[in-house]
Chains A and B, each alone.
Chain A
Amino acid sequence: MARSLTTGFSAFALSAALAMTSFGAHAAESLTVVSWGGAYGAAQKNHMIDPFQKDTGVKVLFEDYSGGVAEMKAQVESGNIQWDVVDLEVIDLERACSEGLLETIPHDILPAGADGTPAADDFIPEALASECAVGNIVWSVVFAYNEKTIGGTKASSIGDFFDTQKIPGKRAMRKRPQVNMEWALLADGVAPAEVYEVLATAEGQARAFAKLDTLKNDIVWFDSWSQAPQLLNDGGAVLVQSANGRFYDAIRQEGKPFVIVWDGHVYDLDAWAVLKGSPKKDLAFKFIAYVTESKPLAGMSDVAYGPTRKSSAPMMDPAAAPHLPTAHLDKGIQAGSDFWADYGESLGEKFNEWLLK
């Protein structure tokens, strides 16, 4: 009996040891890339991750996160680096960069565009503005409604988002101060050009919270953009905030009767960055250079996100053109990356206190 038990255990241990070595083997050439999942993640997988894996033989662990700098901070400060490359909103980028959470990326690693234009001229200037990252897409935070659930009066402006008299029902917003504070001020009548100026003052912040207060009981909070189309689909909320690409994908791929409202949209860039202290820094740079070439960037038009290289334009899906944020710039404002670098933390705290009130 004792013997059979021992044999059993050693057989187990042996097979487990074999499993261990095979685990070790594929850990050698792998890169952890973190992005936003959902439709956007799928587009990145198609046009960036899969081709990169195929061409280089590197195994990419493609993970999702839902934004913010906290997870990166925890990794850098504990010295326990798990992520190599991250797709950041520029809203978070300046903050992460100024807090020393990211590596500096030499821009000379970027190849020329497909038409031969040198990278420095090919990229739009905003894409290379930060020394910590390379811009990837131009996208926008918008809200949308569902033709099936909206009822008689349709929403057309950012004011309607805050007007529960005109359009009764729940609003869904991402649980963070960014964009929500801007929207509150826009809906309260602040001129688009002055939003960040007002928001930098204590009175302006109070004004934004007061506006949000009027909506507080009607808000459904979510943590990740991926949840947004679902909320709009199943009637969890009548007006739902999300990235324009999420709605576009639901409309185009699944034929959902969603209508995007562009008024007051906050457009922003997403950028690839490398976590400070990543043991695979060089491979990470190589990845970024590869996926910001003209062709992979053009692929992002699958989800109506504009490319950051001019040379990508001819390769894009022409059907997406009217749905890109760049086609609606006059109705929106650009997200303030410097503002959120300075105020992200203190407004984040005030926002959480406000939530608990």
Chain B
Amino acid sequence: MIPAHFGIWHRLGARLLQVSSWLVLLFLILPILVIVPLSFNIEPFFSFTEGMLRLQPEAYSLRWYQAIFDDPKWILAIQNSFFIGFFATLIATVLGTCAAVGLARDDMPLRRLITALLLSPMIVPLIITAAGMFFFYSELGLAGSYLGVILAHAALGTPFVIITVTATLTGFDYSLARAAVNLGATPLRVFFDIIMPLIRPGVISGALFAFITSFDEVVVILFMAGPQQRTIPRQMFSGLREQINPSILAIATLLILVSIALLITIELLRRRAARLRGSEADVPPAATS
């Protein structure tokens, strides 16, 4: 990559770039990886014991994992996270996909304004959203209910669905759909047989985004949900505030596994989308699916 005639300074510069880049990569990844071994600490601390550093097996244990599965609060939190996440994702994906299909059409009126409005849940700070929802949903009697939390999380997830689905729709030729209509296809069939196969990767990755948004959300939960709707991040938040306890590290390790699974899924989807559109080369990597 570095031509030979660039000389020592260039090579030094390139080496410097390489070293600093790796340092930044380590800064990104190390804090997350550090959690994993600490979660097997037999002591109730957040730091490495001498025994751990010497790799003595008796310094390690699964007691914090056991503690999670023995604690009904954690069990409830895990159930809640998946339950709320599932329904929020369902609503966000259906509404978001539908809207993205409309927004992608050339004849969409007020497109810019509507896009900005529909994407705003992603931009407005969560503390403002949460405060507003607390006032409004309390008046409707929806605060402290599953329905309220699900609706709130669905609203927060829709922008991601719009973005990912829109990305798969760019360049879509609507004359295909029009031709199908002219040949007598019902709009529903057009949607499922022509549009859907094309946008499916976008829909699925949008759904994953919506899910992780709900799964990771804690501010709205803090303000609006009751003890009954406690989720994993909410339980972690109070754990970190009150009694710092390594079972949080155990659940964090489990969550890291969840994010690895999501990352792999997204990457597979990206490859699939690229294949569908013909060539791998003109699709940027996962970063910009």
A residues whose Cβ falls under 8 Å from a Cβ of B? 1-2, 5, 9, 12-13, 16, 19-20, 23, 27, 30, 32, 37-38, 61, 63-64, 66, 78-83, 223-224, 226-227, 230, 234
Contacts and interface: CB of A to CB of B under 8 A. Distances in A.
A356 to B, nearest CB: 19
B159 interface: no
Given A23-B83, A32-B227, 16 more contacts: A2-B196, A9-B90, A20-B83, A20-B146, A30-B228, A61-B227, A61-B228, A78-B134, A78-B135, A78-B143, A80-B138, A80-B144, A82-B144, A227-B243, A230-B243, A230-B244
A19 B87 CA distance: 11
Contacts of A227: 242-244
A64 B242 contact: yes
Interface string B196-223: 1100100000000000000000000000
A224 B242 contact: yes
B244 A19 contact: no
6 contacts: A20-B83, A30-B228, A64-B242, A78-B135, A79-B138, A227-B244
Chain A facing B: main interface SS: mixed
B198 to A, nearest CB: 12
Contacts of B90: 9, 12-13
Contacts of A234: 45
Nearest to A77: B138
* Top-8 shortest CB links A-B: A82-B226, A78-B138, A2-B192, A80-B143, A226-B243, A80-B138, A224-B242, A63-B227
B61 interface: no
A20 B84 CA distance: 10
The residue among B146, B193, B242 with the most chain A CB atoms within 10 A of its own CB is B242
Contacts of B137: 80
Contacts of A61: 227-228
Contact of B87 (A1, A16, A66, A80): A16
Interface residues of B, number: 28
A38 B239 CA distance: 11
Contacts of B141: 79-80
A38 B243 contact: yes
A15 to B, nearest CB: 9
A19 B242 contact: no
Contacts of A63: 227
Interface string B156-171: 0000000000000000
Contact of A16 (B83, B144, B244): B83
A164 to B, nearest CB: 27
B238 interface: yes
Nearest to A229: B243
Given A12-B86, A16-B86, A82 B227 contact: yes
B134 A1 contact: no
Contact of B241 (A79, A81, A224): A224
Nearest to B82: A19
A265 B197 CA distance: 72
A66 B146 CA distance: 25
B177 to A, nearest CB: 15
A309 to B, nearest CB: 29
A343 to B, nearest CB: 27
Contacts of B228: 27, 30, 32, 61, 82
Nearest to B46: A234
A1 B200 CA distance: 10
A37 B242 contact: yes
B242 A23 contact: no
Contacts of A79: 138-139, 141
A32 B242 contact: no
B189 to A, nearest CB: 9
B194 to A, nearest CB: 10
Nearest to A16: B86
Nearest to A3: B192
Given A80-B143, A82-B227, A1 B242 contact: no
Contacts of A38: 243
Contacts of B143: 78, 80
Contacts of A1: 196-197, 200
Contacts of A16: 83, 86-87
A2 B242 contact: no
Given A64-B238, A82-B227, A224 B86 contact: no
A12 B242 CA distance: 37
A8 to B, nearest CB: 11
A230 B241 CA distance: 13
A226 B90 CA distance: 40
A246 B137 CA distance: 38
Contacts of B238: 64
A226 B196 CA distance: 54
A32 B73 CA distance: 13
The residue among B45, B146, B228 with the most chain A CB atoms within 10 A of its own CB is B228
